[in-house]
Structure 1
Amino acid sequence: MLTYRELNEKSNQLAGVLRQKGVKRHSIVGLMTRSSPEMMIGILGILKSGAAYLPMDPTHPSERVQYMMKDAGIEMLVTDTDYSQKYLFDGTIVDLSDTSIFTGDQTNVEIVNQSGDSAYVIYTSGTTGQAKGVMVSHSSLVNYSQAMIKKASITSKDETALLSSYAFDLGYTTVYTALISGITLHILSEDMYRDPEQLVEYTTSCTYLKMTPSLFSILIHSGKMEKILEEGKLRMIILGGEPVNQNDLKQFRSLDHKRIIRILNHYGPTESTIGCVTGEIDLDRIEDFSNVIGRPLDNMKTYILDYNQHLTPIGVPGELYVSGEGLAIGYVNKPELTAEKFSLNPFDPGKRMYRTGDLVKRLSDGRIEFIGRIDNQVKVRGYRVELGEIENILLTHPDIKEAVVIDRENEKGETYLAAYITGKSKLYIADISSYVKEYLPHYMVPTFFVEMEM
C-alpha cells in the first residue's frame, strides 16, 4: 500500500537515479514489473525523469519482448526482478527492489518535458508479423483523462481498480483518472481479476471500473451480482476493448432492477490515446442495442468516409477517421506507416486524422454505431490482434506450407482464434502450438489448430 505522498517521493527518487544514469528528454525507458505498487513508482518515476516509458509484460515471449526493446532503442530497463537473462538485455538495469534507489532527494524534480513529448509507447499487433510501437504524448493523455473524468463524473470520493495488464492501455482509463483525481487505486494481478471471488470482492469496494466485455460477462455470471448491488458502492462500469454482448446486457438488466449501475460503452484505438468515443447504454432499450459506441469525447472529432474520402450521409456505412487533441504522435521508427495512417485532415486544415479501419455509420441523433472491421484485425479479450501477424509467424515454421487464421465465436459470444494449416510434411499440433507460444503472447495463440488436406 502506498499513499500519494509516498508514491510522489519514491518516484522523485527514482527519477533522480534515472537522470544520474543518463536518461534525458525524449529517451524511451523500458518498464517490466508485476502488477504492483512498484509498477506505479516505475511509471511516474520514468515520466518525472523526462523520458517516455515502454511497458512490457514479463509473461510475454522473449522473442517479442526483445524485438520491442531493440525497435524502440531501449538502453535502460526499470524492473522489480532481474529479467536480463530471460530477455538477453545488456543495457542498464534499475531494479526497484534495490532499496538504495530510495535514499536520495524526495522533492519534486525539475520538469524538462513539453506537452508534445511522448509519455509512453504501446506496442500493438502488426500485419507484417512484427508489433508496432504507438507514441502517445503528454497532452493527448491529459486531454483523454480529463474528458473521461468529466464523462464519468469522477470525483475524489471515488475508488477504482486496475483490471488489465499495464502493458496495454485498456487499463489506463482507471490509472490516470485515479491519479489525477487522487482516489484509491487497487492494482490486481490477472490471476486475481480472472478469479470471480476476488473480482467480486474488489468490485464491492469500488465505485467505477473499466473492464472488457469478456470480464463483464464473468462478473455478471458469477452468481454474486446481487451482493454487489446490495452491499457494494459500484455506480458505473466502463466497457471497452471489444464489442459488447447483447445477451450479457440483458442478463445484467434482469439483475439490476433499480438501475443502480450505469454502463458506458467505450471505443478507441491506441492511436487515439486509449479512447475517443463513449456513450451510455440505455438498459431499458437493450432490444434496440446494436453496439452503438456513442459520441466523440471532448476535443475529438470523427468523420465517416467512403472509398473516395467523401463524408457519408446519416445511416450509410463508411470507414471511421478520428481527429483532435487525442491523436498519437505516430509509430516508432515507421515514418511511412505513420504518414499512411495519420494523414492531413481535409476538413480541418493544419490538423491530422487517423484512419481506424473500422466500419461504422452515424445515426440520426449523432451517435456512432460500430459495424465491424474492413481488414483482418480482430479483438480478443480486449486485445487488438492482426490475423496476418499470426499467419506470418506460422509460416516461419519449417513444416508449414500454408496458414490461415480466422476469428470465431463460441456459444457465449466470446471471440477465439482458429488456425487452418497445411504441411510440407506430417504436422504435430502440439509442436505447432508450442512454437507459436515462443513468439506470440497468450491472447494471440489460436485455440484450435486444424490440419487441412493438401
Structure 2
Amino acid sequence: MTDYLPGLPADVADGILRIVDESGVDAEAVRLAARFKVAALVTGSEPPAAERETWRELVARVAVEPGRTEAGLAWGAVAAQEFVPPARVAEYLGTALGLLAADPDRPHRSGTLLSPAEVRFQLEELAGPVEELPDRRFHELFQDRVRQHPDAVAAVQGTRSWTYRELNERANLVARSLHRGGLRAEDVVAVVAERTLEWMAAVLAVFKAGGCYLPLEPHFPAERIATVLRRSGSRRVLSERGVPQLDAALAGLDDIELLLLDELLDGHRDAGSEHTADLDLPVAAGQLAYIYFTSGSTGEPKGAMCEHAGFLNHLLAKIEDLGVREGEVVAQTAPQCFDISLWQLVAALLVGGRTHIVEQDVVLDVHRFVDTLAEGGVRTVQLVPSYLEVMLSALEERPVPLPLLRCVSVTGEALKKPLAERWFRAFPGVLLVNAYGLTETSDDTNHEVMEDVPAHPSVPIGRPIRNVRVYVVDERLALVPLGVPGEIVFSGVCVGRGYVNDEERTAAVFGRDPYRPEERLYRSGDFGRWLPSGTLEYRGRRDSQVKVNGFRIEIGEIESRLLQVQGVRDGAVVVAGSAGHPQLVGYYTGASAPDPAVVADAVAAVLPGYMVPRRLHRIERLPLTANGKTDRNALVRLAEEAEPASGGADLDPPVTPTEHRVAGLWAELLKVPLDGIARGTRFTELGGTSLSAIRLVIALDRVVTVKDLQDTSTLADVAALLDRVAA
C-alpha cells in the first residue's frame, strides 16, 4: 500500500507520542487506527464499534489481533476506490491523525474528515440551479394560456379533443360546484376516474377550487379505496358513474359526498358565463396541492403530501430540461395513481402544447402504442425502462417511423446501459433523459439528459433540477466523500410535508436540513454516489440491501455487474429460500447471452464470492408488473419453484474424508450448522471473509494460502486442492 503520508507536522507527531506513552501501544497502532478510520470513510463502511468509541479506544482495538489484521485488510481496500484519488486520501489521513493527536478521548465519529472546500463544493456546486419561481400557481398560468389561444387543442383522448377554452370551462364548472359545496383550502378531493378528458377537467377543478387532489383508480379493490379515503381524511369524491368498487367502499364510510362528473359536466354548453368563468380564489405557494399514496413496508399505504410550489417547480424543470414547447405533443401514459401521471397530464398546458392521453388498452398493446405515438405526432413521452425495452423489441419486429419524436424520458426503475445503447442505435437523434425522483419530493429531482450513450459503466441519474439540493450522506446525515456511496437525501422546494395523518412514518424520513435548518429534508432510502462529472449514480434501494449469511448485500450492485457481462441484455437478482438459508438467484435475458456457468464466472471475477448468485437462469424476458416494472415477486416464485428440481452437486452432502474435515472447520470458524454445508457450498456464502480465510489457513496448518482459497470456490474444490497438496 502506498504511504499516503510520509511526514507529519510536529504537533501531530508530538500528540501521537503522547498517546503511545499513555496507552502503551506502538506508533504504528496509532497510524493504523487513522488508516482504519479513513478506510471506513472511503469505502462507506464504518468499522464495527460502539457509537461513542473514542480515538484512544480505536487505537487500542487495532493494536492487537484480530483488530490489527482487520484494519490492515480495510486499508488495503482503499486503493480500489476508483473515484477517491490518493491525494484526497492523504488529506483525510492527515485530518484523522490531527484529530486523533489533538483529542484522543473524543468519539471518532463526532467530526468530519472532509475539508471545508469539499463540504462547500458538495453543498453549493452540486446543487440544482437557483431559479426564481413565479408567485403564481399552475392553474393560474394555465388560465393565462387559455386567454392567449383559447381555440388551440389542449388535450386529445382517442378520437376526442378539447380546446383550451373547452377544457377550462369544464374545469370551472366542476370547481364552482366544489366551491359552492363548501370546499375549503386543502380539503382533500378524491378523483375516481379512468384517464379521460373528464378526468383531466376534474384534476384542474380541484386545483382551481383550492382543494388537494387525491387520485384513485376505479378498478382498485373496495378495501383499498376505503383505506385511502379514511387515511387521507377525504370527505368528497369526484367520480364516474357506475364504479362498483367505489360504491362498496363508500357503503362502509360515513359523511363522504359523492359528486358524479357526468352530472356536473352535462349541459356545459348551456351554462352561463357566470358558471364557466375562472374562480380566481387565492391559493398560496405553500398550500397542499396533491396526495399520492404509495406502498408501505408495513403493508399500510402511505400518502405523500406535496405543495403547489414544489409541484410548479417540477413542471417548469420538465419543460426546460425536456424541451417542451408551444404546439408540441406530450404523451400521458402513466396510470393516474403513479405520480408521473400528473406532469404528463398538465406540463404541456403551461407552454401552449397538447396533452395526448393514451388509453390503457393502447398502452398494453405495444404495437398500437407505437402507432399512437406516430399518428398523434408525440414529441415527448415518458416510460419505465422495462416498457421501453418492450417497445424497442416491437420496433425491431415491425419498424414504424417516429419523425416527430424528440425526447424519451425514463423513470421508475434503474436505466441499464445496454438499454441506452439499444435506444441510441435505433434513434440516434432522439434525446434520452434518465429521470430520478420520489413521490415525497414532488416527483423527479434529477435529470440526466443524454444525446449519446454515457461513458460511465452505468447510466447516471443526472444533476439536480432547478431549486433542488441533493446530498449523499451517512446514517448520521454527515456528508460522505465525493465518489463514495451513501444515502441520497433531498432539501429545498421539492420536499413535501410528509405522510398524511401518519406522524410516525413522517418522523422516520422527514426532518430539517442540518446545513440549512429553514429547509425540509427527506431521506430517500436510496443509495448513490457523486461521479467526477458532477452527476449522481444510483446504487440501489436501502430496502434492496439484503442480509445473506451475515453479509449486507446491495442487490443493485450485483445487477449492475450482471448487465456488464457480454451478451446479457437485461437482468434482475432476488433473494429466495428460507429465512434461515436465504439464497441469491439471478435471472438474465439476451439471445447471445452465455450459459449460466459462464455468467457466474464473469460476475465472480468482479464481485466477492458472497455476492455471486447461487443460481443463475437465462429466460426469454423478465416478467413485468402492471406498471411495466420488473416483477420481482414473480421472479421469487420462479426461484422457489425451480429450487426442488435444481439438484446437482451444490446440494449434495460431503463425501470424502477431506470434504468432511473442511466442512467441520467451516462450521466451527463461521458458527454455522454443519448440516447446512454441501459439496457445492461456497465459503463466502456462509459468511467467510478475508479474516476468516486467514484463520482457515492456520487451521489447515498453512498447507495452502489465502490466494489458493480465493481460487477454489466450493467445499469440493477446497477438499480436492488439499488432496492434491497432500499427494
Same fold (TM over 0.5): yes
Q: Determine helix, strand or coil for the equivalent of 2:258.
A: strand
Aligned to 2:387: 215
The alpha-carbon distance between structure 1 residues 151 and 188, as it changes in their structure 2 partners (threshold 3 A), is same
Amino acid at match of 2:447: T
Establish whether residue 411 from structure 1 lines up as the match of residue 588 from structure 2: yes
Q: Structure 1 stretches of 5 or more lacking a match?
A: 379-400, 414-439
Amino acid at match of 1:46: V
Percent of residue pairs bearing the same amino acid type: 27
Establish whether residue 262 from structure 1 lines up as the match of residue 431 from structure 2: yes
Establish whether residue 96 from structure 1 lines up as the match of residue 261 from structure 2: yes
Q: Deviation per CA, 1:124-166: give whole Å up to 9, x if none.
A: 1111110000111111101111112111122103211111101
Q: What is the CA–CA distance in structure 2 between the aligned matches of 1:160 and 1:122, rounded to whole Å?
A: 22
Aligned to 1:238: 409
Aligned to 1:178: 348
Establish whether residue 163 from structure 1 lines up as the match of residue 333 from structure 2: yes
Amino acid at match of 2:588: E
Q: Deviation per CA, 1:44-78: give whole Å up to 9, x if none.
A: 11111111111001122221111001111122110
Q: What is the CA–CA distance in structure 1 between the aligned matches of 2:235 and 2:296, rounded to whole Å?
A: 24
1:262-411 matched pairs, under 5 angstroms: 262-281=431-450, 283-285=452-454, 288-376=456-544, 410-411=587-588
Q: Determine helix, strand or coil for the equivalent of 1:222.
A: helix
The alpha-carbon distance between structure 1 residues 445 and 363, as it changes in their structure 2 partners (threshold 3 A), is closer
Q: What is the CA–CA distance in structure 2 between the aligned matches of 1:147 and 1:225, rounded to whole Å?
A: 35
Distance apart, 1:18 and its partner CA: 1.1
Q: Determine helix, strand or coil for the equivalent of 1:78.
A: strand
Amino acid at match of 2:248: K
Bigger proportion of residues as strand:
1
Amino acid at match of 1:92: E
Aligned to 1:150: 320
Q: What is the CA–CA distance in structure 1 between the aligned matches of 2:366 and 2:540, rounded to whole Å?
A: 30
Aligned to 1:85: 247
Establish whether residue 27 from structure 1 lines up as the match of residue 187 from structure 2: yes
Aligned residues of 1:17 and 1:101 also touching (Cα < 8 A): no
Aligned residues of 2:186 and 2:289 also touching (Cα < 8 A): no
Aligned residues of 1:163 and 1:188 also touching (Cα < 8 A): yes
The alpha-carbon distance between structure 1 residues 100 and 308, as it changes in their structure 2 partners (threshold 3 A), is closer
Q: What is the CA–CA distance in structure 1 between the aligned matches of 2:461 and 2:236, rounded to whole Å?
A: 39
Distance apart, 1:231 and its partner CA: 4.6
Q: Which has the higher contact order (CA 8 A, sep 6+)?
A: 1
Bigger proportion of residues as helix:
2
Q: Determine helix, strand or coil for the equivalent of 1:199.
A: helix
Establish whether residue 49 from structure 1 lines up as the match of residue 209 from structure 2: yes
Aligned residues of 1:25 and 1:112 also touching (Cα < 8 A): no
Q: Structure 2 stretches of 5 or more lacking a match?
A: 1-160, 547-577, 591-625, 645-727
1:14 is matched with which residue: 150, 174, 179?
174
Over 4 Å off, 4+ runs: 224-228, 401-410, 440-445, 448-453
Distance apart, 1:339 and its partner CA: 2.6
Distance apart, 1:404 and its partner CA: 12
Aligned to 1:431: none
Aligned residues of 2:172 and 2:276 also touching (Cα < 8 A): yes
The alpha-carbon distance between structure 1 residues 441 and 240, as it changes in their structure 2 partners (threshold 3 A), is closer
Establish whether residue 188 from structure 1 lines up as the match of residue 188 from structure 2: no
Aligned residues of 2:290 and 2:305 also touching (Cα < 8 A): yes
Aligned to 1:249: 420
Aligned to 1:392: none
Q: What is the CA–CA distance in structure 2 between the aligned matches of 1:180 and 1:167, rounded to whole Å?
A: 22
Distance apart, 1:366 and its partner CA: 1.0
Q: Determine helix, strand or coil for the equivalent of 1:241.
A: coil
Amino acid at match of 1:255: A
Distance apart, 1:312 and its partner CA: 1.1
Q: Determine helix, strand or coil for the equivalent of 1:186.
A: strand
Q: What is the CA–CA distance in structure 1 between the aligned matches of 2:208 and 2:259, rounded to whole Å?
A: 15
Q: What is the CA–CA distance in structure 1 between the aligned matches of 2:502 and 2:431, rounded to whole Å?
A: 40
The alpha-carbon distance between structure 1 residues 225 and 108, as it changes in their structure 2 partners (threshold 3 A), is farther
Q: What is the CA–CA distance in structure 2 between the aligned matches of 1:112 and 1:365, rounded to whole Å?
A: 43
- TM norm structure 1: 0.81
Q: Determine helix, strand or coil for the equivalent of 1:360.
A: strand
- RMSD of Structure 2 on Structure 1 (CA): 2.9
Distance apart, 1:405 and its partner CA: 11
Amino acid at match of 2:524: T
- TM norm structure 2: 0.52
User: Aligned pairs, how many?
Assistant: 401
